[in-house]
Structure 1
């Protein structure tokens, strides 16, 4: 058992909380798990089926954050343009491939389990706010071993709007029933969402190919999940 987890358990048992925040909301892809390999594979299958040039992983990564519809539009725009019929076919091919292989190569980031356990031991509520569609999010959570781990899950199609609109984040917090809250993400979309919702935000910078969101304060950016409990405790 890690020192952080022992401390959290002792704090919870004594009634003195280590974390002032009582709900922590996480983005999913790129934040809790490295999902890029399977997403990039699905983009590759889609583009080949449409006789388009393929994109490398770095290009696909740069297109993420605004949900699957925007990803497909961006991939098609970058490889020859997009019309409504092309988008419809491309979207169907992408989703068909990704739904069948959404966790072939995706993995939780190192240290995630220890960080989540430290929060749970202190009685902190865990939630998800993602732009991933619900029917892709639920099986992905199951595949990562997180079935039932997050009582509050708000997806890209849960409401009529998605991030960076603050409503999904606020809804994820509302569903836990406790506050104050913090948001942990990895992209400029997450940072913008948190600022609009007036919720403290930490950003995970775990993928060497990812770009630190413009406008992020250095103190907001973490390079490992081992840093997360102390960073949350400082909020």
Structure 2
């Protein structure tokens, strides 16, 4: 009997701090939002402690950082203010990280599928990637409001894999923060960490399977080796 063909391997990327350097626009829109409360602006140095759980939590954390804890009833209006400013200024200063597009071209040429799994609102993630002409690279783009759960819940990643037509046994997660490495562990897929994002701790302390310092290192050969070695480790 002829064996069933293998699914193409799938690479799932986080967005902010992994695919795209979004820090300037996040800070700008966040400061625009909290200015409505008369709060002092936050800086890039604060960003690593604020991002990772989507805009709603980022706003709540920024207000708490400025000594102004929010009542839950105040959040929707501030979130609307943030989304309007952020969406209205896309793509702003945001750019793909160096070497990313070339890396994705290599992977696509070798038959890999690509997807995005971010805690950013899906509409903002899709809109930003669309403005940067990157949407066509991805078989699925899921955000923090796509499902009823979000990273580091494994179901956010497994749902993304399903939407991309991938196979969990042939999937790799790439990210810059604890949520990305944790969701990979929770879903039992190998992880690649990048150190140039917004983690508030060294990514090495998150125990990813591989760390790359530039997208020049993200090759089909690296991914194939990681999948092979991870499968062997799990089988032991």
Cα 1:66–1:148, aligned 2, differ >3 Å: closer, same or farther? same
Of the three residues 59, 78, 81, the one matched with 1:93 is 81
Match of 1:63? 50
Cα 1:208–1:191, aligned 2, differ >3 Å: closer, same or farther? closer
Residues 76 and 87 of structure 1 are in contact (CA less than 8 Å); yes or no, is this contact kept in structure 2? no
Q: How does 1:77-226 map to 2 (within 5 A)?
A: 77-79=64-66, 80-179=68-167, 180-207=170-197, 211-213=201-203, 215-217=205-207, 220-226=210-216
Of the three residues 214, 223, 234, the one matched with 2:225 is 234
C-alpha separation between the residues in 2 aligned to 1:61 and 1:178? 31
Shift of 1:200: 0.4
Residues 111 and 224 of structure 1 are in contact (CA less than 8 Å); yes or no, is this contact kept in structure 2? yes
User: Which sits farther off after the overlay, 102-111 or 89-98?
Assistant: 89-98
Matched, 1:43 2:30: yes
C-alpha separation between the residues in 2 aligned to 1:159 and 1:224? 31
Cα 1:218–1:67, aligned 2, differ >3 Å: closer, same or farther? closer
Cα 1:219–1:157, aligned 2, differ >3 Å: closer, same or farther? closer
Residues 58 and 209 of structure 1 are in contact (CA less than 8 Å); yes or no, is this contact kept in structure 2? no
Size of the aligned set, in residue pairs, is 216
Residues 18 and 197 of structure 2 are in contact (CA less than 8 Å); yes or no, is this contact kept in structure 1? no
C-alpha separation between the residues in 1 aligned to 2:198 and 2:86? 23
Residues 21 and 124 of structure 1 are in contact (CA less than 8 Å); yes or no, is this contact kept in structure 2? yes
Q: How large is the RMSD of aligned CA atoms in angstroms?
A: 2.0
Identify the structure with bigger relative contact order (alpha carbons < 8 Å, sequence gap 6+): 1
Cα 1:53–1:171, aligned 2, differ >3 Å: closer, same or farther? same
C-alpha separation between the residues in 2 aligned to 1:86 and 1:52? 15
Residues 51 and 198 of structure 2 are in contact (CA less than 8 Å); yes or no, is this contact kept in structure 1? no
Q: Which runs of 4+ in 1 moved over 6 A?
A: none
Query: What TM-score results when the alignment is normalised by the length of structure 2?
Result: 0.85
C-alpha separation between the residues in 2 aligned to 1:150 and 1:224? 20
- Gaps of at least 5 residues in structure 2 are 1-6, 227-236
Residues 33 and 106 of structure 1 are in contact (CA less than 8 Å); yes or no, is this contact kept in structure 2? yes
- Gaps of at least 5 residues in structure 1 are 1-19
Q: Deviations over 1:120-159 (max 9, x none)?
A: 0111111111111121111111112212220111211111
